[in-house]
Structure 1
Amino acid sequence: MLKSKLYFILVLLSLKSLAQSQKENSKTSQDSLKKEILKEVVVTASRTQETFLRSPISIEQLKAADAKNMGSPSSFDALENLKGVQIITPSLGFKVINTRGFANTTNVRFAQLVDGIDNQAPHLGAPIANALGANDLDIDKIEIIPGAASALYGMNAINGLANIQTKNPFEYEGLSIQQLTEINHVGHVDRFSPKLYNQTNFRYAKALNSKIAFKINGSTTGGTDWVADNRTDLAPNSNASTNLYGADNPAFDEVNGYGNESANRKTLTLNGKKYVVSRTGYREADIADYNIQNYKGDVGLYFRPKKGQELVLTYKGALINTVYQRSNRFRLEDYTLHQYSIDYHTDIFQIRTYLTQENTGKSYNMRSLAENMDRAFKSDDQWFANYTTAYNNAVTTGATIADAHRMARTTSDQGRFIPGTDAFNNKKDELTNINNWDFGAALRVKSSLVHAEGLFNWDKAFADFFKKIDTQLLSGFDYRTYIIVPDGNYFINPVDDGKKLTYGKTGGFTQLSTDLFDKKLRLSATVRVDKADYFDLKFTPRFTAVFSPKEEINFRASYQSGYRFPSIFEGFSNVNSGGVKRVGGLRIMSNGIFENSYTKASIDKFQALVTSDINTLGLTQAQAIDKNKGIIQKNPYTYLQPEFVRSFEFGFRGVTLKKSLFIDADFYYNSYENFIAQVEASIPNTADAAQIPTALYSKATQSRYRLWTNSKSKIYNYGGSLGLKYKYSDVFSFLGNVTYTKLDRTDDKDGLEDGFNTPKFIVNGTVITENLWKNLGASVTYRYQNKYDYVSFLVSGEVPAYWSMDAQINYNLKKPYVTAKLGGTNFLNKTYYSMLGGPSIGALYYLSLTWNIGKI
């Protein structure tokens, strides 16, 4: 007891001594925070250089130097600490950024740029995390706009936009090498014992003279992914009328088990009862390759023919081997991306063009692999026939109903391919090279994106005139075309099989800004017009106001709107998957389907009631069908239109408490129309109206579709966030933020809106110490998010709340110019899910060594 008291007293004396030593330089540190905030410049919010405090909309900024002081191993990972940012993790090699709701694993509503260049994979319409992004050593800072940004960018960025800005070789020369060694799967959180995860980065930049410079970046990453092995039953009530639940349910469908989904189930009549029975399928852990091996690199040539002018030629390339998730889980294997760009800019104008090429290589769909692995040893018809015979035999010999189902499955599965055997591996290799998901699992897509854009600063071209009226005028245009090579499975050309699919859009904007009342009030107005193939002209306005009574106090308000045009996949997909054809929502792809189909939701309800009435009321099938046929509903949806959002935002930024506290707060309200989502529907294989209910009771007598369409609901969401930065001294600083996001309501509730998939509360808090002792620094981050509903076509349910902690210590050796960083994310190893269908995430411990050499 005495020992504890002495220890406590010593701690208090130490803290008092430290506080006294820091008090002497507190005024200096407070002034440094003010200078740091006031001098910060951002470019993404208005596409022109402006101070961070006076940005007219919400914008978050993460400098690479600040990211190094956080517990995350990279700048991209550190984005999770920013106000308003949500990151979901489908795999260790694939993280998805989102803001303000409606998150999903292929986030086509959030754009991701590198130096203003979109780094999306063309056929997906979204980036594959940072796979084609900047090397961590080359990142200067990252700016994120949480909220609509399409008025200025026209890139479908109605949820937000991230712009990763890299280091110019004229300003940042030298050689940098970074070795990041990590360990995951610690503590037997899944099937793996602890595994090494390595990343090696390098950067070399050189200015040959005042007019020519170049830089080269490279990165290689390798390790073992997190495992997705959620065994929750997605069809728990399929056999409720016969009291078969849990392990006794013959329609058991695990979240991360594939080949036993709805398309792989059949209703069997067994001993006078109706039972829903599924094929056995395979767990993801048995069929997936969790090895991550990613490579990326880029080369940039920089020319400055005259002062204020710069020509930049760049090439980026990536080779990706990781797990990817959208409606299904995929293995990306030898997946390549290439990007070529030319950028010429002066103070007056900028012209930029780039080409992105995508080849999915040897990638495959895990669900298709599982279901066709089952069918490869025995067809569905044969398997269900064997099941029926085996069940009846078991019941005849006195087995219970549950045991009879287990015995029937065991008998029917005889000869099945067993994971880990040579026969299984050989069949897997065969199926993953068949580009038809009715029989195989291959993903074979080649696509390209061609983009050109330009900006013109009228106030720089005619400086005297615009200076007199204290006004700035900016105009811009952009043109984009997607080019898809039809592969006969994922994409087809419905008009001409021999031609590539093309899908283009062009647009432009003008933005006028002016300062009033001695520059205390800044107003701006933007108008944009876009024309995309298959759609009429669309107009997008933006209005902003910033009131700054003092330099340190800034209030802002804005109204923005934005359109999102369907992605290539949403508009043109044409793929069979488990007996369901997924069809793009453009009329050119789905003509006639909407008008002649019935909704799956009503068909499922109809089939369940018919089965229940047969089992519990003793009705014949014909009687039960006639009784419940009124449940079936025609498909009320139609062909795709662009999605539209209106967004209102209010905010405040300021420095207070004797210049030691920075505050940034915002509140927004959004309304969506024509929300792009999916509906499942079936066309009965009969022309006789009287036979339609009977045809829709059996999967064998209907053609099933999953269609991209627009929700009939108007959808509203709102939220806000508060961010604080408090600099106590040159040593201690505190960062904290809280984000609130809520789906307000839908005025029709047709159930088609994409899952909101966002927690109400996300809280981050970080304590940072710099130069605590000599060149030693450290930080600790706490993160919390509450539970939330997750909706997707792979799985729907509730994501549990979780909290985690990151921590790091770093030490700078001035010679030999090495920075060592030792840390861990989720270092307490409390496993959690960031979304459903994805992996369980444990601790990641790492040691990072960065060697920086100056000019060589």
Structure 2
Amino acid sequence: MKIQLYLFLFLISFNCFSQVENSKRSQDSIKKEELNEIVITASRRSEKIMRSPISIEQLKSAEAKTMGSPSIYEALENIKGVQIITPSLGFKVINTRGFANSTNVRFAQLVDGIDNQAPHLGAPIANALGANDLDIDKIEIIPGTAAALYGMNAINGLANIQTKNPFEYQGVSIQQLTGVNHVGNIDRFSPKIYSQFNLRFAKAFNEKFAFKINASTTGGTDWVADDRTDLAPNANASTNLYGTDNPAYDEVNGYGNESANRKTLNLNGKNYVVARTGYRETDISDYGIKNYKADVGFYFRPKKGNELAVTYKTALINTIYQRSNRFRLDNYTLNQIAVDYHTPIFQVKGYATFENTGNSYNLRSLAENMDRAYKSDDQWFADYSVAYKNAITNGSAVADAHKIARTSSDQGRFEPGTDAYNQEKEELININNWDYGAALRVKSTLVHAEGLLNWDKAFLTFFEKIDAQLLSGFDYRTYIIVPDGNYFINPVNPSENLTYQKTGAFTQLKKDFLDRKISLGATIRMDKADYFNTKFTPQFTAVYAPKNEISFRASYQNGYRFPSIFEGFSNVNSGGVKRVGGLRIMSDGIFENSYTKASIDKFQSQVNNDVNTLGITQAQAIEKNKNTIQKNPYTYLQPEFVNSFEFGFRGIALKQNLFIDADFYYNSYKNFIAQVEASIPNTTDPKQIPTALYSKNTQNRYRLWTNSKSKIYNYGGSLGLKYRIDKTFTALTNVTYTKLDRTDDKDGLEDGFNTPEFNINGTLIAANIWKNLGASATARYQNNFDYVSFLVSGTVPAYWSMDAQINYNFKKAGITTKLGGTNILNKPYNSILGGPSIGGLYYLSLVWETK
């Protein structure tokens, strides 16, 4: 497959360069296009992309329409340096430069400079509060830390979705996209219809007043997660029980048979690790997608250059969401109201986001508590022991006896699809305690205010004389969480809401030299969050542009990420394990008095092995292996930190028809925010501690947010080429290389790098092949990579896929048609472990626009 893809990209590149001398040139050259392209996200002020001091990627709506992706958001997968992971058909996650996960709290996502995160997570729920395709003008992405200008949650990168202003883009636009997925028996579904409807209406009444309305609906059937790999393959290795004979069998996408649902049973003189049966996701999950979003904005321009915008957004989400567990989001709502006033001299902005998880629930908790609803753990394991011994007495082999015992113990179990199951499910998903139910019930609010002041605009003459620019900004943010008694509590005042505040400010100075061929910049940022000392974040940049067509850039910056609400304050009861936020206010005393789960698991395994292979008693085995148990060496949360060095080049060549953009970076991280599992024994007698930690019934188990002791280094680079062959054909190709350099003081808590080493894209776009007919094809490849998460760890296989589309513009009618598909060869692949298998999606899009 690699050879086929490399050949495909080589042929595109060869075709591009071989036609340089013979092709007829377009008047609109790459030079004209790129030299005049304006970006704002990199420096928080308008500047030409060739002069940007840091790497910034851009995808314009017009360009995305020529790609095979059904939306501009999905087309980001074709952009240099961008990694997209897909936990759900209705939920895609953007990441850059490594350390990806399905809740990417290190990558910020803005819409017109407004954060669209779900407050309690500290990360966006896909594109829920994002604009629909008809209203997006372009998306700008900073691949790398942007903390100096944007503060916390931007240490890995930032995306800013910029929408169309109703003064400049007026009229009615309607899009209906109808498609089909689950084609070719790739999973349990027959082909299913996928539908998306988008509406945009914008009107300027005069030069002062305008408004716009957007609405979008998405419906379909999600991709299926059905990985049956055993996560505990060696749990019974000492008794030679493997695969389907393993009584601790734990499928990746089977829930209720995890470590918390296992017990060691002594049966006929042997120790066996036995798990409850659990349920497969495919049997208990609702894979229906029904997402809705809308927004309305009012705009007022009191005078030229000044604008007041008041916007309101709402979203209703029904889809699958993946974190350390898989969740069903059901009637999950987000609402946001924002006010923005800007002039050439200053900008002030304020917004509030309101989150309500509705009737959402945890699939793992549903599975394990569905098992417990018909029979308690103690009763089930007791029945299992009796049935096993009876089967052995009747002459059954060991493996068969375990199967007989499971069948016997499972009698009376709720079976998916039955009325009894549905009734019990409805009860469980409304119980807000994961020890007994599965409900996710969170209500939270984010309130944000910020301002910017362009000193060089306020004091124009002075700054023109010194050829410099000075920008200052401030921001204030507070999170407000309504304690639900399970997911969140207020440890100080239980009857009051939980709050978490942060304040930041920055100043950025840029100075030009040598007739603006050299530009130097320096930024200093200060951030103060509750429970933490003030942190300072510097950034230094340099741009050298010997002529308009060439620029070199270099930068150094560092950044901090403060813990999210969930990392700092969570208080979740989950199957006998309590997940606790890492701030001292939440976990005081736990770190100092606990022992790590990793050492306890090793201790228990060694005890079982010695009992089964040496013939000694359990008490003797515990005494023999007690020194394996280790005290918890971790402590309370501190912010993450990154140092980043970056170098880059942009240039235009081959008679102004080739645009080149390359970058290289080196990062070092410390204090990764991660989770550690630990237990406190129910005794303070040192002699009794090993015995207490051998059984889960005599210990209190915790999952704690803390900081890894590891220092981690990674580096990488990317090369992007855009070549205009002639008036009809344009070729785009990019290669991204991302490498984990090394890890010092490795302790196993560092977040998984979770990023392919190589990611390659190649796109050939043909515009106006015949009259108003256009087409494109994209090939995409990424190599296999290690994936580490609390849900599952392993290797994500390499894959390559192709997207394609043809489009035709009926100009008189104002209708554009687009027939296309993603993964058109329908070869299923996984972007992450534990997530769904992604097949082909084929669609027809009709867009009608009138001005």
Instruction: Give the TM bin, normalised by the shorter chain.
Output: over 0.9
Matched, 1:416 2:413: yes
Question: Which residue of 2 is the match for residue 111 of structure 1?
Answer: 108
Question: Which residue of 1 is the match for residue 649 of structure 2?
Answer: 652
Matches of 1:47 and 1:700, distance apart in 2? 55
Residue 24 of structure 2, aligned match among 5, 10, 26: 26
Matches of 1:503 and 1:576, distance apart in 2? 22
Matches of 1:24 and 1:553, distance apart in 2? 25
User: Does the 8 Å contact 2:582/2:704 carry over to 1?
Assistant: yes
Aligned amino acid, residue 428 of structure 1: K
Question: Which residue of 2 is the match for residue 130 of structure 1?
Answer: 127
Q: How big is the shift at 1:182?
A: 1.0
* CA-to-aligned-CA distance 1:312-369 (integer Å, 9 cap, x gap): 0000000000000100000000000000000000000000000000000000000000
Residue 536 of structure 2, aligned match among 524, 535, 539: 539
Question: Which residue of 2 is the match for residue 292 of structure 1?
Answer: 289
Aligned residue for 1:53, secondary structure, equals helix
Alpha-carbon spacing, 1:748–1:24, altered in 2? closer, same or farther (3 Å): closer
* CA-to-aligned-CA distance 1:584-634 (integer Å, 9 cap, x gap): 000000000000000111111010000000000001111111111111110
Q: How big is the shift at 1:25?
A: 6.7
Q: How big is the shift at 1:23?
A: 7.4
Residue 472 of structure 1, aligned match among 428, 452, 469: 469
Residue 386 of structure 2, aligned match among 386, 389, 398: 389
Matches of 1:27 and 1:254, distance apart in 2? 58
Q: How big is the shift at 1:687?
A: 1.3
Question: Which residue of 1 is the match for residue 266 of structure 2?
Answer: 269
Question: Which residue of 2 is the match for residue 10 of structure 1?
Answer: none
Matches within 5 A, 1:349-748: 349-748=346-745
Aligned residue for 1:76, secondary structure, equals helix
Gaps of 5+ in 2: 1-13
Matches of 1:123 and 1:188, distance apart in 2? 38
Matches of 2:821 and 2:153, distance apart in 1? 35
Question: Which residue of 2 is the match for residue 12 of structure 1?
Answer: none
Question: Which residue of 1 is the match for residue 253 of structure 2?
Answer: 256
Matches of 1:730 and 1:298, distance apart in 2? 38
Question: Which residue of 2 is the match for residue 9 of structure 1?
Answer: none
Question: Which residue of 1 is the match for residue 195 of structure 2?
Answer: 198
Aligned amino acid, residue 25 of structure 2: K
Aligned amino acid, residue 777 of structure 1: G
Q: How big is the shift at 1:28?
A: 2.8
Question: Which residue of 1 is the match for residue 784 of structure 2?
Answer: 787
User: Does the 8 Å contact 2:25/2:727 carry over to 1?
Assistant: no
Matched, 1:319 2:316: yes
Q: How big is the shift at 1:658?
A: 1.1
Aligned residue for 2:149, secondary structure, equals helix
Matched, 1:120 2:108: no
Q: How big is the shift at 1:707?
A: 0.4
Matches of 2:619 and 2:97, distance apart in 1? 50
Matched, 1:348 2:345: yes
Q: How big is the shift at 1:557?
A: 0.2
Aligned amino acid, residue 420 of structure 1: G
Please report the RMSD computed on the Cα atoms of aligned residues, expressed in angstroms. 1.1
Question: Which residue of 2 is the match for residue 7 of structure 1?
Answer: none
Residue 847 of structure 1, aligned match among 840, 844, 848: 844
Q: How big is the shift at 1:27?
A: 3.0
Aligned residue for 2:169, secondary structure, equals coil
Matches of 1:674 and 1:429, distance apart in 2? 41
Moved over 2 A (4+): 22-29
Residue 797 of structure 1, aligned match among 794, 799, 807: 794
Aligned amino acid, residue 422 of structure 1: D
Q: How big is the shift at 1:32?
A: 1.8
Matched, 1:218 2:221: no
Matches within 5 A, 1:148-159: 148-159=145-156
Question: Which residue of 2 is the match for residue 102 of structure 1?
Answer: 99
* CA-to-aligned-CA distance 1:35-65 (integer Å, 9 cap, x gap): 0010000000000111011110000000000
Matches of 2:594 and 2:22, distance apart in 1? 76
Matches of 2:600 and 2:211, distance apart in 1? 62
* CA-to-aligned-CA distance 1:645-671 (integer Å, 9 cap, x gap): 000000000001111111100000000
The percentage of counterpart residues that share the same residue type is 78
Matches of 1:658 and 1:628, distance apart in 2? 73
Aligned residue for 1:327, secondary structure, equals coil
Aligned residue for 2:687, secondary structure, equals helix
Aligned amino acid, residue 180 of structure 1: L
Gaps of 5+ in 1: 1-14
Aligned amino acid, residue 557 of structure 2: Q
Q: How big is the shift at 1:576?
A: 1.1
Q: How big is the shift at 1:155?
A: 3.3
User: Does the 8 Å contact 2:562/2:639 carry over to 1?
Assistant: yes
Matched, 1:836 2:846: no
Matched, 1:775 2:750: no
Question: Which residue of 2 is the match for residue 83 of structure 1?
Answer: 80
Matches of 1:394 and 1:476, distance apart in 2? 74
Matched, 1:824 2:826: no
Question: Which residue of 2 is the match for residue 238 of structure 1?
Answer: 235
Aligned amino acid, residue 842 of structure 1: G
Aligned amino acid, residue 455 of structure 2: W
* CA-to-aligned-CA distance 1:404-448 (integer Å, 9 cap, x gap): 000000000000000110000110011001111111000000000
Aligned residue for 2:32, secondary structure, equals helix
Q: How big is the shift at 1:26?
A: 2.7
Aligned residue for 2:387, secondary structure, equals helix
Residue 180 of structure 2, aligned match among 180, 183, 204: 183
* CA-to-aligned-CA distance 1:50-99 (integer Å, 9 cap, x gap): 10111100000000000000010000000000000000000000000000
Matches of 2:740 and 2:499, distance apart in 1? 36
Aligned amino acid, residue 623 of structure 1: Q
Question: Which residue of 1 is the match for residue 754 of structure 2?
Answer: 757
Aligned amino acid, residue 522 of structure 1: S
Question: Which residue of 2 is the match for residue 329 of structure 1?
Answer: 326
Matches of 1:28 and 1:216, distance apart in 2? 37
Question: Which residue of 2 is the match for residue 11 of structure 1?
Answer: none
Matches of 2:844 and 2:574, distance apart in 1? 43
User: Does the 8 Å contact 2:80/2:736 carry over to 1?
Assistant: yes
Aligned amino acid, residue 121 of structure 2: L
Q: How big is the shift at 1:483?
A: 0.2
Matches of 2:575 and 2:787, distance apart in 1? 23
User: Does the 8 Å contact 2:330/2:358 carry over to 1?
Assistant: yes
Q: How big is the shift at 1:815?
A: 1.6
User: Does the 8 Å contact 2:152/2:560 carry over to 1?
Assistant: no
Q: How big is the shift at 1:578?
A: 1.4
Matches of 1:685 and 1:132, distance apart in 2? 46
Matches of 1:83 and 1:591, distance apart in 2? 45
Residue 806 of structure 1, aligned match among 798, 803, 806: 803
User: Does the 8 Å contact 2:314/2:333 carry over to 1?
Assistant: yes
User: Does the 8 Å contact 2:327/2:363 carry over to 1?
Assistant: yes
Question: Which residue of 1 is the match for residue 204 of structure 2?
Answer: 207
Aligned amino acid, residue 849 of structure 1: L
